[in-house]
Amino acid sequence: MTILKKILRGIDSISEHVGSWAKWCAWLLVLVGAYDTIMRHFFNAPTLWAYDTLIMAGGVLYLLGWSYDYLHGSHIRVDIFYRNLSPRKKALLDVICAAILFFPLMGALMISSISWAVRAWRINETMISTFWYPPAAPYRTIFALGIFFLTLQGIAKFIRDLHFLIRGEPLD
């Protein structure tokens, strides 16, 4: 059991660190957005790269923030029903939803996002929304990593919920 606790704490630590790193993308969004706005409105010199940079930085913020949010219970749920349940029934509902919805969806997203990233690296894909044409492969790779980290945190939560359901006590 001690090894399992260490593994779960390790997964939590990964999610904390990834979430802390992702928070910096919010600053990048503000800085790039402000710079582009100032250049466009005050100097009549819009940038070619700001739009794609904002899209990618916002995507990275969301993608890498998913596991952090899942660790801290910040994801959306139908709280009108969930909040009235006992802790054991919450764990049961979480285990059922993870088995039926979360893991199949994450498996499908993992397969498609990895193939998407591999293809982007193989063909040197570029983003075509502006004339800057930044490489798409790093962004596609971060997308796959975001799905991976969310799945990893989902596995940790599933193990904790299953343990609580069986033993009636938290694993930590």
| 35 inside domain | yes
Establish if 172 belongs to a structural domain: no
Could you tell me the sign of the dihedral formed by the alpha carbons of 40, 42, 44, 48, in that order?
negative
Which single residue is written with the structure tokens 């993870």? 98
Q: What token pair was written down for 21?
A: 């790193």
Q: How many domains is the chain built from?
A: 1
Is 66 inside a domain boundary? yes
Q: Which two tokens stand for residue 110?
A: 């993992």
Tell the residue number behind the tokens 């399992």, with chain if given: 4
Residue 7: CB atoms within 10 A of its CB come to 13
Query: Does the pTM of the predicted model rise above 0.95?
Result: no
Per-residue pLDDT of the chain (172 residues; tens, 9 = 90+): 799 999 999 999 999 999 999 989 999 999 999 999 999 999 999 998 999 999 999 999 999 999 999 999 988 777 788 889 999 999 999 999 999 999 999 999 999 999 999 999 999 999 888 788 999 999 999 999 999 999 999 999 999 999 999 999 998 7
Q: What is the domain extent for residue 91?
A: 2-167
